[in-house]
Every structure is written in C-alpha cells, then in structure tokens.
A and B are shown apart, each in its own frame.
Chain A
Amino acid sequence: MNTRIPPVRLRRKKLAQTILLAAFLPAVSVLVAVYLLFLAQTQSGAAGNAEIGIASKVENSKVTIDHQISEVVRVVKFISDIYPMVQLADPKYLQTIFESLDQEFINHIFEDLGVINARGFHMAYVGPYELLDKNYSREPWFVEVMEKGFYISDIFLGFRRVPHFIVAVKRGSGDSAWVLRATVNGFLFSSILDNIRFGNTGEVFIVNTKGLLQTRSLANGTFMQPVNDELLRIRHHPGVELYRSSLRDAPFIIGQAWLISKPDWLLVVQQDERDALAPVGATRNRLLLLLVGGLALLSLSAMATIRLVLQHFLQVNIENNLMDEQMIQSQKLAAIGQLSAGIAHEINNPLAIIGEEAGWLQDILKRESMKEFKEAEEFKDSLREIVSQAGRCREITHKLLSFARKMDSAIRDVELNVLLDEVASMREKDASLQNIKFVREFEKDLPILHSEPSLLRQVFLNLINNAIDAIRGGGEIRLVTRKNPDRPDKVSVSIGDSGIGIPKENLDKIFDPFFTTKPPGKGTGLGLSICHGIVQKIGGEIAVTSVPGEGTTFTIILPLEPPKDNGARSKEMGDADLITTGQTPRSLLQQHIGSAD
C-alpha cells in the first residue's frame, strides 16, 4: 500500500513555519528591542563621551608636559643656583654635572649643557656638537635671557640644524653675567606626546602662538610647520576649550589648553570624530554579531526540535495514513457493495422479463404451426443466445448480490491447516493437469481459530483459483500457515504462486470491485473484493505482494477470536438491511446516486 506523502509534506511545512515563527518572533523582537535601545543609548551618549574623552586627554597631557618642562626648568635653575660660575666653566666639572643630569632624566631629553658669558661666547660646553666657537650675542634667545634672566625658547634649528628648544638662566650682572643654557632635543620631547596617541587619528601636539608645530603631528606634519588654521583656532582662553572642526571633510573633535610652564605653547588634542565613535561602532558590531549568533543558535535548536517533532509526526502520519487507507478501502467496498446490490436488484426484474420473453418465443417455435416457418432455426439460435446471455447477466447479478449478502455468521472451531488442506485438495487435481504443484508448509501446532469456516473456505478457494489462473505452463502454489510470534492472538496464512505477477500500477486496484484483467465474460472482477470484504468481516487483514514475472503472494492475518462488532461490520457491508429498514432497492439506489454527486 502506498502512502500519500504530499499532504503530510504540506502539513510538515506548515508546522515547521509555525514552530519557527513561535520560537523566533519573541526572540527576534526582544533582540531587536535590545539593539534599538543600545543604539538610542549610545548614539546620544557617544558624542558626549567622545568629547569628555578628549577633554580628559587634554588635561592629562597638559599635566605630563607641564611636569616635564617644569622639571627641566627646575633642574637648570637648581644647577645655576648651587654651582659657582667658576666650577661650571670648568668643562670637566660641567661634564660630570651633565652626566648626572642625563641619568636623572630617563628619556635623555637633554641634548647639551653650556655656560655662556655676557658677550655670547661659550665658556664651557658639554654636548655632541662643535659649538664652542659660536657667538650667541645676536641670537634672539640670548637677547631675551640677558634681558629677562630666564627664557624658554620655541623649537628652532639653530646652528646645529636640529629641532630643539632652549632653557636658559642668567646669573650675575653686567659684564660678569653668565648664562646656563640647556638644550632639549625636539624629537625626544616630541616622543613624550607620541606615546600618548590614541585610536587611529587621536594625537596630542603643541603649537606656539604663531601656529607653528612644536612637536610632530600626524595630521599637520613635522616641527615648525604651520598647522592648518582652518582646523585650529589659536586664541587665548582659560582652561580647556573643546570644539568641532573639519578638515577635508573629516570631522574633528579638538580640545586645547595653554601650558602653564610655557604659557605661549598651546597643547592640542584632536581626533577624527568617526574614529572617536569607532569604539561605539565596534561595540555595536559585537552586539550585532552576538544577536546574529544568538539567532543562528536559536534557529539551529528550533530546527533540531522541528526535525524531532516532525519525525514523530511523520511516523504517526504514516501510521494514520495506513489506517485511513484501510478504512477508506473498506468503506469504499461497503459503499460499492451496497450500490451494486441495488443495481443488481433493479436489473434482475428486467432480466427476468427478457428471459421469459425469449423463452416464450422459444415455446411458440415448438408449436406444430411453426413447422412451416423457414427461418425457425435462425430464430431458435438467436433466442438461445438471448437466453444464455440473460443467464450470464443473472450470474453476475447473483454474484453481486452475494457480495452484499448477509452471511450466516456461524462461529465454529476451525483447524486452519485442515480447512486449507480441504480447499486445496478440491483444486489440486485440476491444477495437476496444468502441471501446477501444491506445496504445503503448515505450522504444526497451530492454535484453533474461532471463525466462520464457510467464509474462510470461500476466501481460500478464491485465492487458490486466482493463483491457478496466474500460472502459465506449470509452476507451484505455496500454502503457508504460521503462528505470529509478535501477535500471539493472530495467525497468518499465505497463498503464493509462481505466476505472472501483478504490475505495480494494478496492485492497489485489485481489491476494487469489477477490477479484472481477465477477458470479458471470464471474470467478474468481484472475487478479490469479496475476499477483502470477508476478511474484514471476520476481523482479519489481507495484503498482497507481487513481483511481475515472479509471482504473487496473498497474506491473510486472522484473529483467533472473532471480532466483537461483527453485527456492525456486516451492516457496513451493505447487506440485507434493504428489508429491515423497509427501503426499496430503488430508493437505496437513488440515495447512493444522490450522494455520489
């Protein structure tokens, strides 16, 4: 029996969709809500956070740089205060001082140390350059320090052609005045700020009041280059100033503050806003990834659940289908039985009349007066045929009616092996003439059945007849009885032939009434449907397996005890309640025809 998959598939798809929807809808809505909340929360907060970040960078860098410069200044002032000029002018002594100074500053930002007299000449010098012969009297820084007593220069190249700045202290006065000058290496100083770069574009740099870079800058270039004044707003203000500016379509957040230790230097912290918001983006991406991952996990587990549920569902469905199919089959047979009984009954009367009319004519032809009638033989021949065909119809209607007829339900003890052997013996002689051998494989101690022997005989005889008809030119018919180890309350009988087999497309039609492959007049197509009806009635099951060219086996599973709803079953068979309900066959027939459309 074939199971119809399509409706199952349809239901399966629907179920899968429902489960997915049920699992996903709440989860997705929660996740989306979380995500939206996160976006709302961060979008407003992110910009503010970025600004606060920049501001705090400004504060921190300012502290670092101020500390660094004031350290330098403190040290230079300290040296000039505690050592007399005579000692400092001694190059060896100055060398010692420089060395301890160099050790003091881990970043070695001091480049050299020099003592210069009032005329601008080096009295002593410690450092990598040949500067002893240089005269500084016209250098701006020298002029400044001589005038003010203390000076921190901007970054410049000077004689050495290397970016640096000077911290100079003047001691003494008049012609005996002298200047202690320390040089800070621009690169090393700048590297302090390099270390506090952040993100991709975040950086800290210093410009002077003219907008010239005092340290290196990623965005603006190297020492002493002017910064883009579109970007930067150089103006005096207290504390930290924060603003947004843009350069070549890149939005920047900028924070700036003037240094305390060197008041004409402006410390600038700037960062591309997109870069500043990037961590937020990254968090968002991580969250998004988490959401997608979660959904994937969810769908995987949902799929697994669905698969499990569906497997179970499908199993149940196949079983149901099988039962449905059997139910439909027996109901169909019952309906057809009823219908055909009605038809047979209706046809019977006209058939009787036809038979009688023909018989009457035959009677007349026998009269003396008909002796003269030349065509009498032709008439007789034709009438014989009418009578014989009416007889054939009669056979059919009688079979049809027996199909629907109420069987006498006499339950008796049945020894299945004996009964089957009896039936087989009835046909064995005929069969042996066609070279057909019967093989009996009977289970020895088969339990006794409580069933209807006459019905069983009818079924077995029918199946054996079919088996004989299926065999062409010799073969064998195998009669097998078996106990069923799985179902101790049932036994099985199978009747198999080595005949022509049944094509696959016919297999599910063979139990249908009027289905026959025999030539017209040779079979009514009712045998197997009667068998099916009988087996159903006595609570059994009939199944068929067939391989075209190899043979067919019918297997009947019979219960040891008759079914309890025997009466209901036989009513279903559409039998003689024609009378008990007082309905005429015609009205029944009309009912069937009426309900057919």
Chain B
Amino acid sequence: MDERLPRLLLVDDEERFRQTLCKRLAEMGFPVATAGSGQEALARIREEPFDVVVLDVMMPGLSGMETLHEIQKLGCGVEVLMLTGHSTIESAIEGMRLGAHYYLLKPCDINELVEKIHSAYAVKQSRDQRLRQAEERALLDQMEKKIRF
C-alpha cells in the first residue's frame, strides 16, 4: 500500500475559499493544486495526475456536473468529491450516480472533508491496485501464451 498522501485538486470559483482551504490542506501535508473553474480543472487534470478532485457543484461557466462528466470522459481514474449547497443536493446525488465518490454540504467541516478525502483515496488505491493486478495478470497470461507457442 502506498503511504503517501493523495494528490488533491481543489475546484471552486470562490477564490479566497479555494486559497485558504488549499493552504489548510497543504498545512496538513497534502499536495494540493487549485482551479478556479471547470475548464481550468480539466486542463490541470490533463497535465498532471491527481488522486482526488474536490469539486464545487455550482460554478459559472462549466458547472460541477458538466465538469464531472468531462473528468469521467478523460478516464484517468480520479475520485471526485462534490461540494454542494443544500439546494443542489439532488444534483450532488445525481453526481454520485455518475461516479462521484461522495458529497459534502458547504460550508463543510475540514475534518469531515479530510475523512472523505481519505476514503475516496482508499477507493482509488484499491481500484488502482486491482487494475495493477489485472494488468500483471494480463501480462502473465500473455507471457504464458508466448512461452507455450
């Protein structure tokens, strides 16, 4: 099991919130990057790998839901936590149906957030591990085939 902390991408249109939360998470030792919009987030995800994306549902431009869609299309296996106001709980739940890990009500408690980040990361790690095992298995199968023939 990889003991390193998950790489986080914080997506929120509210700059000060984004920065402060970023500082706090960084203080805890997380490697954190931020994005002020859905588009920017997608650009960052294409550039470098992240483990967990904390995504605000309500944003101007590309909304949280749309961004979630796009992230999923990229197929990079990143876990997404939805940050939502109360009135957008439905879309947050819809987001979970589409593959988001969980939702958090905004303003949220940092400890709760960290807890959810860890659980999301755990899911990602286990999936990554299965993925790796599957890849190894596939590789082995291939090798076996090659040896036999």
A residues in contact (CB < 8 Å) with B: 341, 344-345, 348-349, 351-353, 355-357, 359-360, 363-364, 390-391, 394, 397-398, 401-402, 404-406, 575-576, 578-579, 584-585
Contacts and interface: CB of A to CB of B under 8 A. Distances in A.
B144 interface: no
Given A349-B17, A356-B20, A356-B21, A401 B87 contact: yes
Contact of A576 (B21, B60, B90): B90
B87 A352 contact: no
A148 B11 CA distance: 157
B90 A345 contact: no
A394 B107 contact: yes
6 contacts: A341-B87, A356-B110, A357-B16, A360-B20, A363-B28, A576-B88
Interface of B: 14, 16-17, 20-21, 23-24, 27-28, 58, 60, 85-91, 105-110
Contacts of B60: 584
Contact of B86 (A352, A359, A363, A402): A402
Contacts of A406: 90
A80 B139 CA distance: 185
Given A345-B86, A357-B20, A363-B24, 7 more contacts: A341-B87, A352-B107, A356-B17, A398-B105, A578-B87, A579-B90, A579-B91
Nearest to A344: B86
Contacts of A363: 23-24, 27-28
B87 A576 contact: yes
A406 B110 CA distance: 27
Nearest to A341: B87
Given A359-B110, A406-B90, A576-B90, A348 B85 contact: yes
A341 B110 CA distance: 24
Contacts of B87: 341, 345, 401, 404-405, 575-576, 578-579, 585
B89 A405 contact: yes
Nearest to A352: B107
B27 A353 contact: no
A360 B107 contact: no
A331 to B, nearest CB: 20
B107 to A, nearest CB: 3
- From DSSP, what is the main secondary structure of chain A's interface residues? helix
> In the complex, which of the residues B24, B88, B107 has the most CB atoms of chain A within 10 Å of its own CB atom?
B107
Contacts of B20: 353, 356-357, 359-360
A579 to B, nearest CB: 6
Contacts of B105: 398
Contact of B106 (A348, A360, A391, A585): A348
B10 to A, nearest CB: 11
Nearest to A367: B27
B82 to A, nearest CB: 14
A363 B60 CA distance: 31
Contacts of A349: 14, 17, 106
Contacts of A397: 86
Contact of A579 (B24, B88, B108): B88
Nearest to B28: A363
Contacts of A404: 87
Question: Would you list the 4 A-B pairs with minimal beta carbon distance, nearest first?
Answer: A401-B86, A352-B107, A356-B20, A363-B27
Contacts of B24: 356, 359-360, 363
A360 B16 CA distance: 12
A359 B108 CA distance: 11
Contacts of A353: 14, 16-17, 20
Contacts of B58: 584
Contacts of A575: 87
B34 to A, nearest CB: 13
Nearest to A397: B86
A394 B107 CA distance: 7
Nearest to A364: B27
Nearest to A390: B107
A405 B84 CA distance: 13
B38 to A, nearest CB: 15
Nearest to B89: A405
Contacts of B85: 345, 348, 401
A578 B85 CA distance: 12
Contacts of B21: 356
Nearest to B20: A356
Contacts of B90: 406, 576, 579
> In the complex, which of the residues B17, B85, B90, B110 has the most CB atoms of chain A within 10 Å of its own CB atom?
B85
A391 B109 CA distance: 9
A144 to B, nearest CB: 138
A398 B39 CA distance: 29
A584 B59 CA distance: 10
Contacts of A584: 58, 60
> In the complex, which of the residues A352, A364, A406 has the most CB atoms of chain B within 10 Å of its own CB atom?
A352
A357 B20 CA distance: 6
B113 to A, nearest CB: 10
